[in-house]
Amino acid sequence: MNERPKNSDSMNHWQTRTLIAAVVLVVVLVTGGSYWYTVSTNEQAFVEKINGTLTNLRDALSMPLWTVDNQSVKQLGNAILQGDLVVSVVVRDDDGKIVFTAKNDTAGETILRTMPVYYREALVGELQLRFSQEPLHNEIQRDLTMFAAWGGILLLFWLWIWRLRAEMKLRKQTEKELLRSKEKAESANRAKSTFLANMSHELRTPLNAILGFSEMIGRDHATPAATQEKVAIINRSGEHLLALINDVLDMSKIEAGRAELEPDRFDLHRLLHDIDDLFRLRTETKNLAFILDLQQDLPVYILLDKGKLRQVLINLLSNAIKFTDSGGVTLRGGAELLPDNNWRLNFEVEDTGTGIPADKTETIFEAFAQVGHSPVEQQGTGLGLAITRLFIQLMGGEISVESNPGKGSIFRFEIPAEAVDVSELEQSIDEPNQQVVSLATDEPEWRILIAEDVPDNRLLLRSLLEPIGFIVRDAVNGEEAIQQFQDWQPQLIWMDMGMPVIDGYEATRRIRTLPGGQKVKILALTASVFKEEEPKILAAGCDVVLHKPFNESTIFTAMEKQLGLHYIYEERDEPFNQASLPKLGIEDLQGLPDEWLVQFLNAVRLGDSKAMLVFTNNLAVEHAKIKAKLNHCIHEFQFKHLVKVLEDKVGLIKGHF
């Protein structure tokens, strides 16, 4: 915040002091003038009162005093003394002899007045009255007190007005400073958003190639089974890396108030088994058991934000594995049917790790909070649990934690989900099991232009489209894209929005103005994750917005919808699901070497799961199915069942010999 100049502060202080001095001077002058006016007014009234009293007495005494007896004079004098004005009375006759005298015991200043008494124009005596000034003083005091009170009220009122103006001025100044601070914060937020947008583009662009090519290799029939498994690991790891990148972006969107729900209909069981596949490898490397425990009442198809639920589960499981060195991690899923036929989903992630101290159970949900002390436990961004709680709250749920230090932790959360009719998902359910192999036989020639500045991404799209039967050309920037469109007239353009020379926005606008530009389908590819970018892209003239990294089904589905074309499909091989394996039986062990069975039985009896996995991993390729069953028994700690089946098998072998 900019500081104000010192001379400006000095000027403000000088103006304030001058204003206060002027107000005080005005109050003094008004008070002095009012005092003078009050005194003079009251003195005049006092004099008039005295004169009135004297006149009344003169009229009452207009008779020869010697004709009045002493008793009458005494009564007259006492009557005069009844008020608070006259304090003493002296009556003299015409010879100066005192006829009557009386006085009050009133102290204070007095005024003496002598009045001759005439009768028929002849002097018959004299009356002396002494008047008290106390009533005058009391009157003046009362008036001044009342004026002082009103003056104080006016002064307080003026001070209140002055303070109010000062507060208004301070408020305006504060509002200006807050506005400047807000502008700075918005500027910093824009800079952060720009940085994150650029980083998102730089990180997602290579991930697009990694995930795209690994998916292609994994689905290639020429790829050996062992290689496909490794490629699948690369693909899942790339997805996890993308999720970590999204952590920072998600936190930024949450802080900026831009996080939104994106509900979608999906297969909940498939999602949970995908997560099972992702984490089973991680637990195996740490010699941990991973258990997926799904209750029978858990619905299969629901309407929910799939991405955020997946991220929540990944964050919780990643933390559980990080803080667990022995034992295992369990993911439980259940549901409760609500009266409105929707669901309340219940999830638990339990581990046998180090646990969380009681004083840390709240701080772990704060951004950048780290509970562990070892270098391994301190790995990560520190945003996982903060994002987890915010996502759960955004979905309408709550999360809690129960922990026993040294024994482990349980994270529980509940979220509402809408029920979905299976008929609404028939098409989308079948799509993942179908792989596009070519265009339909009656399809015309489809010309596709790829406008992309990154060679790997151009190669990825070309490798996806050309084997299917599309005719493909590419451009490395917006200027080339415009020229290729004029020369070749493609029916569809894949337009990257962040290209050099001329970006995708400007290239799209120009193409729309060219002959045929209104008919061509332009599908935007962007590495930006900010939703507010989509209206800008659509306003530039694009028909659809797709985000990187993408998968091949997204590409083919978008082209099918935009061009109205048709494909020829083949069924994909279902990924092997250990959870669906039948129970291990003695017949499954047929064909395994006798010596191997004996050694494996010894490892099972010792409960050495690491040694068991070494034995199963050394099995030949032709024993892949029994290997999967054995690994499933190991992961599920079915050691008693293993011992029984192996002992039966080994006993048969020994009996045979």
Q: Please give the pLDDT value at position 255.
A: 59
Q: Report d(CA 526, CA 547) in Å as an integer.
A: 5
To 10 degrees, what angle do helices 306-322 and 384-394 make? Answer: 150
Question: H helices within 514-623, ranges in order?
Answer: 533-540, 552-563, 594-606, 609-617
The pLDDT of residue 381 is 46
- Give CA angle at 359 (355, 364), nearest 5°: 65
Determine whether 326 is exposed, middle or buried from the number of CB atoms within 10 Å of its CB (0-12, 13-18, 19+): exposed
Q: Which two tokens stand for residue 90?
A: 């002296």
* Helices 455-465, 552-563: crossing angle, 10 deg rounding: 60
| Alpha carbons 468 and 340: distance in angstroms, whole number | 46
564 Cβ partners below 8 Å, 6+ apart?
none
User: Residue 513's pLDDT is what?
Assistant: 95
The pLDDT tens digits of the residues spanning 149-194 come to 777 787 787 778 878 888 888 888 888 888 888 888 777 766 766 6
Cα dist from 17 to 20, 26, 32, 50, 648, whole Å: 5, 14, 22, 49, 105
Q: Nearest to residue 286, comparing CAs of 380, 372, 353, 346?
A: 353
* SS3 state at 425: helix
pLDDT (0 to 100) of residue 377:
43
Q: Compute CA distances 411 → 298, 334, 498, 600, whole Å.
A: 18, 14, 41, 36
CA angle 620, 622, 623 (to 5 degrees): 70
Closest-CA residue to 544 (of 559, 532, 556): 559
How many angstroms separate the CA atoms of 603 and 585, rounded?
19
- Comparing CA positions, the residue from 457, 446, 552 lying closest to residue 493 is 446
Note the pLDDT of residue 232.
75
User: 260-420 in CATH: which number?
Assistant: 3.30.565.10
Helix %, strand %, coil % of the chain (to 5): 55, 20, 25
593-626 burial code (b ≥16 CB/10 A, e <16): eeeebeebbebbeeeebeebbebbeebeeebeeb
pLDDT for the residue 576: 43
Task: Tell me what pLDDT residue 495 has.
Answer: 95
Residue 495 near residue 505 (C-beta atoms within 8 A): no
Which amino acid is it at 107? A
Q: Which long-range contacts (CB under 8 A, 24 or more apart) does 115-121 make?
A: 115/54, 115/57, 115/58, 117/58, 117/61, 117/62, 117/65, 118/62, 119/62, 119/63, 119/64
Q: Which residues contact 262 (CB under 8 A, 6 or more apart)?
A: 305, 307, 308
| Encoded tokens for 159 | 């001070």
Domain ranges of the chain: 63-132, 260-420, 433-571, 581-656
DSSP 327: S
> Going by CATH, does the domain composed of 433-571 fall within 3.40.50.970?
no
CB 444 within 8 A of CB 488: no
Task: Report which DSSP code applies to 518.
Answer: T
- For residue 107, the model assigns a pLDDT of 54
Q: What single-letter DSSP state applies at residue 371?
A: -
- The pLDDT of residue 155 is 74
So what's the pLDDT on residue 239?
Answer: 72
CA dihedral 511, 515, 518, 521 (to 10 degrees): -60
Q: Which residues of the chain have pLDDT under 50?
A: 1-6, 63-68, 368, 373-381, 426-432, 573-581, 656-657
Q: 10 Å Cβ neighbour count for 113?
A: 15
The whole-number pLDDT of residue 472 equals 94
